[in-house]
Chains A and B, each alone.
Chain A
């Protein structure tokens, strides 16, 4: 296993494949993840993007478009199948060499409605890269819970009321579900650690597919925090251990960012309105779960 290399800021591509003037929300974490991802992928990339927040940036409205790579807006539920078809066609036509066929989908399009197409494409081992930007709910439709919404979070479909409170189920562990397909490469990333993220993207492009990168992308609108805190919160997710940066290459697991002394999860939770209702006991429960996870998984 060759570990991914953290790309120093000065060496990150200056080519902007996301055009300015897009309609993403101020402080949008997805926009940051898309921009950073394309810096790692480069211009020879075919992108398929399903319904979600990305089309807001990439697709219009007519006649405008936001990305300077060939882009196909695909259906919500079938990103994996679309990129499988694109990859097969390019391969047949002898056009695949040096080209990245990439799906860039949100957590709903990946972990919920799109998981079947994703699983099929990974089982068939297409030469594809699938990037999931995880903003932990259906943000473009107005903050509904998804399979990756964490325990304790308020969403519009897991409201806080007098009888029921917030999401009671824990976050679906997508990277490990994908890892169970034994792909070439699986990695988690954070927009607060662009050198690590872009290094992982580059590693995926070197390896050939299938590769999966799951990037944690805070959403100021849905997580209820001021837009200038997007990176701060993304960083805190990693430093508190709520989000863990690792990679699995051909089955070999490696933690890519060691956090010597994890900060209390409360520091991450208290900055976000979606966790405002949590009692100290709820927070302790979340802390225990995070501690358990770190004890269970190899460093």
Chain B
């Protein structure tokens, strides 16, 4: 029997880590992800989770402790947001190079100044070049399920990279939804214990990790990371398939598509905006428009094949980004443009920046974007490549 209750995104993330049997958790408080660690602390205090919680003095140390613990053979977990993630930046690179499959929940929040605690993907998007796998979740169930899948992917010998699971600050972290909690034994079957092979502490055969590498070999080490990230694409698909088989929930792998079979115009979004977009797409379909939704679930590795396949049938792809690459456009829009550029019948791509710092992105906003895209599909003319949506005062 599945336990069914309403849970916040933070609780779902904590349950995901608990069910994954995280062994060392090192974290520092930051709104809106703090509750994740509070829940885990309580599970440990109640004897429900056998783990060590290190209440570190900074996020930088949180990630450092996770890397040390992972190298010492433990499954590790942490959670953070915004400034905390930015402070971790150095160690994010480190976790990748050390090949430590740390899993981290990120409660997406805007970066200061000015101070703002609400949903914004800039914090995790700014980490896109560190070599971390990045998942974005649409709802709390997906948060729980994706944490478990993230371990499966991160610890796979073909990958061995850390993974972050992103959930929109407050919209998911502090909102309760129905979440089915899978039974522990089923999760144990899906996710066996972590057994690192590349570095083990053996006093009779001592190893040294992370030795100095001359220019002759550094590039080759970077290529190993590139291969690992490429491998992650198939491993994510596999992990999703196996998960769907076992738990009867299919999140689509790298992307989830909705009404895409015959769509001519589509919207692409990450996180909770994808949930709102479903409603808008459904309503526009009722009104007779051939529109669909591509939910970007994995931003790293970027699902190039999926986007090309889905994009090749489209006339227009409208991409919503809850982030901004200043002076350019939204990060996922740039990625989509890059992925689509070399296919024969590429669609027009429109970029929309929306929802920064928790600004509401409602069904009407999505419809506005879809109508813009429909108009471009009729005229074939792109007047504006990047538009800031719901901007007070206009552009």
How far is the CB of A67 from the nearest CB of chain B, in Å? Answer: 6
Q: Does A144 contact B (CB under 8 A)?
A: no
Is B50 an interface position by the 8 A CB rule?
A: yes
The A-B contact count (CB < 8 A) is: 159
Interface presence of A74 (CB below 8 A): yes
Is B64 a contact of A86 with CB atoms below 8 Å?
no
B211 touches A65 (CB 8 A): yes
Question: B133 an interface residue at 8 Å Cβ cutoff?
Answer: no
Q: B72: which of A46, A71, A75, A117 is its contact (CB, 8 Å)?
A: A46
**A73 is contacted by which of B23, B203, B208 (Cβ under 8 Å)?**
B208
From residue B95, how far is it (CB to closest CB) to chain A in Å? Answer: 11
Chain A nearest CB from B58 CB (Å) reads 6
Interfacial chain B residues near A99, Cβ < 8 Å: 203
Q: Is A62 an interface residue (CB 8 A)?
A: yes
The complex places the Cα of A63 from the Cα of B94 at a distance, in Å, of 20
Tell me the residues in window 39-76 of chain B with beta carbons closer than 8 Å to chain A beta carbons.
50-52, 54-58, 60-62, 64-74, 76
Check B5 for interface membership: any CB of A closer than 8 A: no
Known A60-B211, A60-B212, A72-B68: A92·B51 in contact at CB below 8 Å: yes
| Contact flag A72-B60 (CB < 8 Å), given A62-B211, A84-B65 | no
Chain A interface size, as a band, is: 35 or more
Give A280 to B50 CA distance when docked, in angstroms: 64
> How many whole Å from A10's CB to the nearest CB in chain B?
25
Distance to closest chain A CB from B315 (angstroms): 49
Judge whether A83 is part of the interface by a CB distance below 8 angstroms: yes
Q: Is B91 in the interface zone, CB < 8 Å from A?
A: yes
Cβ < 8 Å to B, chain A residues 56-90 = 56, 58-75, 77-78, 80-86, 88-90
Contact B208 A59 (CB under 8 A): yes
Say whether A116 contacts B58, CB under 8 Å. yes
In angstroms, Cα B59 to Cα A81, docked, is 10
What is the CA–CA distance of A89 and B68 in the complex, to the nearest angstrom? Answer: 8
- Alpha-carbon distance A55/B208, docked complex (angstroms): 10
Closest chain-B Cβ to A15's Cβ sits at a distance in Å of 12
Known A60-B211, A60-B213, A116-B57: A85·B64 in contact at CB below 8 Å:
yes
Report Cα–Cα, A75/B73, bound state, in Å.
19
Q: When the two chains form their complex, are residues B91 and A75 in contact, meaning their CB atoms are under 8 A apart?
A: yes
Within 8 Å of chain A (Cβ to Cβ): is B24?
yes
Q: Does A119 contact B (CB under 8 A)?
A: yes
Instruction: Give the Cβ gap from B337 to chain A, nearest Cβ, in Å.
Output: 35
A95: Cβ under 8 A from any B Cβ: yes
Residue pair B24, A92 in contact (C-beta under 8 Å): yes
- A89 x B211 contact (CB < 8 A): no
Given contacts A78-B61, A81-B60, contact A44 B203 (CB under 8 A): yes
> What are 27 A-B interface contacts by the 8 Å CB criterion?
A45-B203, A59-B210, A59-B211, A64-B211, A67-B206, A70-B207, A71-B208, A71-B209, A73-B211, A78-B60, A78-B64, A81-B26, A81-B56, A81-B61, A84-B65, A85-B26, A85-B70, A89-B68, A89-B71, A90-B201, A91-B52, A92-B50, A93-B23, A116-B57, A117-B61, A124-B54, A124-B55
B-side interface residues toward A, CB under 8 Å? 23-24, 26, 50-52, 54-58, 60-62, 64-74, 76, 90-91, 94, 199, 201-203, 206-214, 217
What would 15 more interface pairs be, CB under 8 Å, given A60-B208, A73-B209? A43-B203, A46-B201, A59-B208, A59-B212, A71-B207, A73-B212, A81-B65, A82-B68, A84-B61, A85-B76, A88-B65, A89-B69, A89-B73, A89-B74, A92-B51
